[in-house]
Amino acid sequence: MKRLISIAVSLIILTIIYTKIDFLGLIRVFENSDRGWTIASFAMLIPLVLITSWRLQELTPSGVRLRFAEANRLILAASVLNMVLPSKMGDLAKAYFMRDRGHLSGSLALSLVVFEKACDLLSLLLWCIFGLCLYPDKNFLFWVMTVAVSSSFIFGILLLSSRKFAHLFFDLTGRIAPKKIGVKLDKMRFSWGEMHEYFWSDRRQLAKICLTSIFLWFCHLLQIWFFILALKAWTPFLANLALSPLAILAGLMPLTFAGVGTRDAALILFYQPYFNEATGAALGLLCTSRYFIPAIAGLPFLSQYLATVRNFKKS
């Protein structure tokens, strides 16, 4: 039911967007697009998936090292599940895959995936802060977003670096959360503690994973800038570092199907100083393809993990 509601919300938002823009203008934007930049931007999906797979491989302990091909299949299968499970839960399903494949214990697998997603979010916030600090002519809304993003980044760093802060956070949220959510928080508290013990015991490995995540998200944002060039539009790259993360964050809100609708609306809104609404809608479609193409590529591997998905939904 939740998935049907999110699809309905996405369709409503898209209907509002496409009734207000020049639809013929949107078609002309694609007709006049630069083929070279289009090919280059879509080609970036390959190294993005490969780097993500290598990072997942590096996250696992040396004694139970994932093969690169297996890590690649896990990443692509998770991309499929992210299209049907809410709030990027497909990424968490990777923990169940790794456990059932015999690579890791369930709690350690969950802690690795949680750390991977935390690194992704913090890297995205870091580039967003960098771009927002250099963004010219910030109005009140942008100052509010700068403070909000910076606060979220500091909060995330404290959760990852301080066991005392993490314990306090889980303790307070566990007290006010409903009982069903409280049980999940208790499991997360245990996995979070195991994650702290695992990663902070090897600072060199921790630094390698963090730097890889920062570079990976630089490449993600660079791909979006390539999309803009493919549409024969222009945005300064530093401005893109501020605006594209904000649109991605809008798409992460669990309101719509795979971020479709909220992400499109955010792109149109934030990029208004640089190009028209038709180009913003076209950029939204290209950004959505960043999620659909890996999901399509992951379909052949999904059948291997269907039993795990059923157990994941039950749990």
Is the pLDDT assigned to residue 151 strictly greater than 90? Answer: yes
* Chain centre to alpha carbon of residue 157: 17
Identify the pLDDT of residue 95: 76
Pairwise CA distance, residues 270 & 199, whole Å: 37
Identify the pLDDT of residue 241: 93
Is the pLDDT assigned to residue 315 strictly greater than 60? Answer: no
204-233 pLDDT, tens digit per residue, is 888 999 999 999 999 999 999 999 999 999
Is the pLDDT assigned to residue 285 strictly greater than 90? Answer: yes
Tell me the average pLDDT of the chain: 85
Domain range annotation of the chain: 2-314
- pLDDT range class, residue 157, cuts 50, 70, 90: very high
**Which of 115-119, 243-247, 272-276, 311-315 is least confident?**
311-315
In this prediction, residues 92-113 reach a mean pLDDT of 72
Reported pTM: 0.89
Is the pLDDT assigned to residue 312 strictly greater than 80? Answer: no
Pairwise CA distance, residues 222 & 40, whole Å: 11
Is the pLDDT assigned to residue 60 strictly greater than 90? Answer: no
Is the pLDDT assigned to residue 71 strictly greater than 80? Answer: yes
The more confident residue out of 85 and 13 is 13
Pairwise CA distance, residues 215 & 213, whole Å: 5
Is the pLDDT assigned to residue 188 strictly greater than 60? Answer: yes
Is the pLDDT assigned to residue 88 strictly greater than 60? Answer: no
- pLDDT range class, residue 265, cuts 50, 70, 90: very high
